Structure 1
Amino acid sequence: MHNPGNATPDRFPAEERFAEGAQYIAGRLTRGTSGRTHAVVDPASGEEVLRYELAGTADVDRAVAAAREAFPGWAGATPGERSDALHRFAAVLADRAEDFARAESLQCGKPLKLSREFDVPGTIDNTAFFAGAARLLQGQSAGEYSGDHTSYIRREPIGVVGSIAPWNYPLQMAAWKVLPAIAAGNTIVLKPAEITPLTSLLFAQAATDAGIPDGVINIVTGTGREAGEHLVGHPDVTMTSFTGSTAVGKRVAEIATATVKRLHLELGGKAPFVVFDDADPEAAAHGAVAGALINTGQDCTAATRAYVQRPLYDAFVARTAALMETVRLGDPFAAGTDLGPLISHAQRDRVAGFVDRARAYARVVTGGEAPEGELAKGAYYRPTLIADAAQDSEVVQSEIFGPVLVVLPFDTDDEGIALANDTPYGLAASAWSRDVYRTNRATREIKAGCVWVNDHIPIISEMPHGGYKSSGYGKDMSAYSFEEYTQIKHVMFDNTAVAAKDWHRTVFGDR
């Protein structure tokens, strides 16, 4: 049901801002041509806030053509020119920070304090970082490695990038896909999740207003099966970057392989949270609650499996449950709200299914239900702590993607590290101890792309984000991300000016 009050000042006027359509191609908003519409729904109320025309394959073709046309000019710009444009982009984002925060909270159900203090400033900082990094595309020093030649490395943009971003962090994921690509001189077509397109569209508009040329950043908002698969398989797209589930990532890889595309995948996670018996128990409990419940648990790096050494286990379970019970569910736009809804009622029901099945083999210590009353209209679910599950059980091995933390005991350090590694995933982890030797061992032996020590969740623009094993490959953020978005070319000059080179004898003649 459409809510005519959705454009009130305390929310975000989505219908007004995207009256011209929810596609952004060659520097302007336009309508999709698939012949089908889709609704953006506020998950806190279940009310429709925007209905728009979905992108079809023709829209993807137009966006790719716009990106291809813009590529020579943008790739030919100097690093300084691209850097200046990105600095202006960061300034525009900062000026519009509140707009972005409200749009993100409206479409995702995030508490406004999370959007204001995490998603939006992180995106602005990421933009500022890549403004600087654009001028520092490093390669190996030039030198005479053969003795008779001078070699050097060129790092060149690869062309049109076709990227797909998820619904849990729409703004940050748009930035993570777009910024390294364009800083390196590529152009891009981004497909956001069709349920959360608002901030990706605002992001592209801000880029245009900052002076980034038309066609450098394009947004197609359509379904994965139609727009997404067509984008990944498009012959004029040279690279695909995908963030999402491991199952869908496998499908993306299958399509990309058929056209021999460069591929970057950031997939699922099931992050272990390993608490050794000398850890600060209060810090560990606070860290577990914050790390498990960030973004209502819809975070691939969220703490989902807490392994606690047996002397601390019972106290950790009790303290973590008590802290979870203090978390305040409510309207994302209301002061005092700590936890918003899940992204949809379907996702809430999926999470509830995991918890309900776990009752047969584990103990639900707190939570495990949707709230009643006014919040029942939204996709809310109470923070949930599950104890005493088996290592091979569903809640330990599968990505739940909700406000659910599972706690298991361990005895020896060897066992704790082995349990941490005992899933197909390897995106993030944390180790909690006052002993530097224990934590150093954990950071060496836990197979994950990021291992925090005595904390869980913080990220910074200067450091890479990416996983091991079924969590994918390649890096977002940091200068390391340029490895995904540039071609490495070896250039070699002869220094001898000799017609008959010594090595020619291997083909004809003698020394």
Structure 2
Amino acid sequence: MQRLDHHYIDGRWVASRGTRWLPVSDPYREQLIAEVTAGDPADVDDAVAAARRALPAWQALSGAERGAYLDAFADALTRRREALIRLSCTNNGKVLPEAGIDLDDAIACYRYYADQARALDARQGQPVALEMEGIEARCYHDPAGVVGLITPWNFPLVTSAWKLAPALAAGCTAVLKPSEVTPLPEQALAEIAAEIDLPAGVLNLLHGDGEGIGAPLTAHRDVDKVSFTGSNRVGEAVMRAASEGSRGVSLELGGKSPVLVLDDADPEQAADWIMAGIYFNAGQICSATSRLIVDASLADTVYAALASRIDALHLGDPLDERSDMGPLTSARQREAVQAYLAVAEQEGLTAVRDARHRTLPEQGYFLAPTLYRDVPTTSRLWREEIFGPVLCGRSAANEAEAVELANDSDFGLAATVISGDSDRAKRVGRQLRAGSIWYNSEQLVPPQTGWGGFKRSGIGRELGPWGLSAYLEVKHIIGPQ
């Protein structure tokens, strides 16, 4: 059993000052596979100081030089791909194909921001068109400074890439806190930093929980910006902490995303896209399309198609190539989802499929993929993020009602529109208040497109040029020609 008792600070492995230990589990075998330090505020002080010392020299490098390091991260992840896929399956519970998608997404992200770093050189000092005779202005883009990056447990190596790659491309130095639930895959980032000779202090990786590392990091006065992905409850606490000192903050929070099936959709094809949107990663996705809004004329056909596909899902060992869905990542998360299933029982929701329709594996933090139909809009399951393999459906009389139901939510992260007419699907998508709208497809997230949401789904955007802008400050130099 591993013991993660060291942080990566200032280019060296340094013993944690923490005195508490946290269990790290294999969610399929329900076995302890590691212990990780909870960390200590003094560790945060050391890491932030190292990042501050490294900032001037890292910022002074050209974008091309920083891009070369990001390409080196991508190369190193590629070399480790198969081992990291299996490690993610073991620590997170993802099945093999899902973990493979994750690794490829992370590699593509580092490649993309390597290119963005190189392109940044050409943007520096661009003239600004003015109407003032004899005066010139030029625009520059400076790094935000020392950034604190806090990532969740559901997409190890992916969400860290979404933050770390643009931060380093921009010229920031970073203190990264991966989730204490899935620290094993993220440990590779520090190992890679040492392997590629990333300058000391540019990346500092701290293991720990919210008390030992997270809260001290978000409140640290020498951190210029915090980027957090996780729950709304914690995200709002991060924002309050960052407000002391008026420090920048980016938040990627919850979702309750709809999937709209219009009256001209192919029910069988729609069922495939619906399945991919809710049961991938056992529903533990902030963008999970967990609200099904189906035209009343197609409802019975779509529910029947979904039922047959749910029955065909093989739940099992994430490392078994036959498995379609693994366990939830932790016993705690399974309990949280079970609490919602108890609410559904109390509310008398109609289950098309639930635990009564299958036998679960004898070991592992499994929950049966669940589908309810005709769920009232007042139900907690319709309105709150469940973060598990639970799909709630309602019928809509027409397109206008479908759009109204979709937008009636506190969240606005993502949505899917399914129609036999792509132009119609795109037109409906323009009416939805969400950051990413897919039409007639699975949930594709290319690194070139932005990621983030409206309303309570967060503040700011990751990925694309907007992800780089999140770590840049705009500077203008103005004077006589």
User: Which category describes the TM-score, using the shorter chain as reference length?
Assistant: over 0.9
Cα pair 1:122 1:172 within 8 Å, conserved: yes
Does 2:246 correspond to 1:260?
yes
Structure 2 counterpart of 1:186: 172
Instruction: Find the residue that maps to 2:355 and give its secondary structure.
Output: coil
How far the C-alpha of 1:31 sits from its partner, in A, is 3.0
Cα pair 1:21 1:29 within 8 Å, conserved: no
Structure 2 counterpart of 1:142: 127
Deviations 1:31-54 (A, max 9, x none): 321211111111111100011322
Alpha-carbon separation, structure 2, partners of 1:160 and 1:211:
20
Q: CA RMSD in A?
A: 1.6
Counterpart selection for 2:295 from 281, 290, 309: 309
Alpha-carbon separation, structure 2, partners of 1:80 and 1:398:
44
Cα pair 1:466 1:474 within 8 Å, conserved: yes
Structure 2 counterpart of 1:337: 323
Does 2:16 correspond to 1:32?
yes
Counterpart selection for 2:99 from 115, 121, 140: 115
Counterpart selection for 1:367 from 354, 359, 365: 354
Deviations 1:336-367 (A, max 9, x none): 01100001122112212212321333111112
Structure 2 counterpart of 1:5: none
Cα pair 2:156 2:186 within 8 Å, conserved: yes
Q: Where do 1:465-480 residues align within 5 Å?
A: 465-480=451-466
Does 2:418 correspond to 1:455?
no
Opposite residue 77 of structure 1, the aligned amino acid is: L
Cα pair 1:87 1:127 within 8 Å, conserved: yes
Opposite residue 64 of structure 2, the aligned amino acid is: G
Opposite residue 341 of structure 1, the aligned amino acid is: P
For residues 154 and 328 of structure 1, do their structure 2 counterparts lie closer, same or farther at Cα, with a shift above 3 Å needed? Answer: same
Opposite residue 57 of structure 2, the aligned amino acid is: G
Opposite residue 150 of structure 1, the aligned amino acid is: E
Alpha-carbon separation, structure 2, partners of 1:132 and 1:370:
50
Cα pair 1:429 1:450 within 8 Å, conserved: yes
Structure 2 counterpart of 1:21: 5
Q: Where do 1:376-391 residues align within 5 Å?
A: 376-391=362-377
Does 2:409 correspond to 1:418?
no
Opposite residue 45 of structure 2, the aligned amino acid is: D
Instruction: Find the residue that maps to 1:222 and give its secondary structure.
Output: coil
* Identical amino acids, percent of aligned pairs: 36
Structure 2 counterpart of 1:75: 59
Alpha-carbon separation, structure 2, partners of 1:368 and 1:121:
33
Opposite residue 232 of structure 1, the aligned amino acid is: T
Structure 2 counterpart of 1:94: 78
How far the C-alpha of 1:372 sits from its partner, in A, is 5.6
Q: Where do 1:169-184 residues align within 5 Å?
A: 169-184=155-170
Structure 2 counterpart of 1:295: 281
Gap regions ≥5 residues in structure 1: 1-13, 496-511
How far the C-alpha of 1:376 sits from its partner, in A, is 3.4
Cα pair 1:31 1:53 within 8 Å, conserved: no
Opposite residue 214 of structure 1, the aligned amino acid is: A
Structure 1 counterpart of 2:38: 54
Q: Paired residues, what number?
A: 477
Alpha-carbon separation, structure 2, partners of 1:271 and 1:487:
32
Deviations 1:60-86 (A, max 9, x none): 111111111111111111111111111
Q: Where do 1:344-359 residues align within 5 Å?
A: 344-359=330-345
Structure 2 counterpart of 1:4: none
Structure 1 counterpart of 2:388: 402
Opposite residue 449 of structure 1, the aligned amino acid is: G
How far the C-alpha of 1:256 sits from its partner, in A, is 0.4
Moved over 6 A (4+): none
Cα pair 2:36 2:208 within 8 Å, conserved: no
TM-score, normalised on structure 1? Answer: 0.90
Opposite residue 187 of structure 1, the aligned amino acid is: T
How far the C-alpha of 1:99 sits from its partner, in A, is 1.9
Cα pair 1:104 1:171 within 8 Å, conserved: no
Alpha-carbon separation, structure 1, partners of 2:383 and 2:89:
30
Alpha-carbon separation, structure 1, partners of 2:348 and 2:403:
24
Does 2:49 correspond to 1:65?
yes
Instruction: Find the residue that maps to 1:101 and give its secondary structure.
Output: helix
Cα pair 1:385 1:405 within 8 Å, conserved: yes
Q: Where do 1:199-278 residues align within 5 Å?
A: 199-278=185-264
Cα pair 1:20 1:31 within 8 Å, conserved: no
Opposite residue 127 of structure 2, the aligned amino acid is: A
Alpha-carbon separation, structure 1, partners of 2:356 and 2:387:
15
Structure 2 counterpart of 1:131: 114
State which structure, 1 or 2, has the greater radius of gyration over its C-alpha atoms.
1
Alpha-carbon separation, structure 2, partners of 1:255 and 1:382:
38
How far the C-alpha of 1:140 sits from its partner, in A, is 8.7
Alpha-carbon separation, structure 1, partners of 2:125 and 2:264:
44
Instruction: Find the residue that maps to 2:118 and give its secondary structure.
Output: coil
Gap regions ≥5 residues in structure 2: none
How far the C-alpha of 1:88 sits from its partner, in A, is 1.7
Cα pair 1:424 1:470 within 8 Å, conserved: yes
Deviations 1:3-25 (A, max 9, x none): xxxxxxxxxxx62xxx5634221
Alpha-carbon separation, structure 2, partners of 1:141 and 1:222:
43
Structure 2 counterpart of 1:503: none
Alpha-carbon separation, structure 2, partners of 1:221 and 1:383:
33
Opposite residue 142 of structure 1, the aligned amino acid is: P
Alpha-carbon separation, structure 1, partners of 2:309 and 2:194:
45
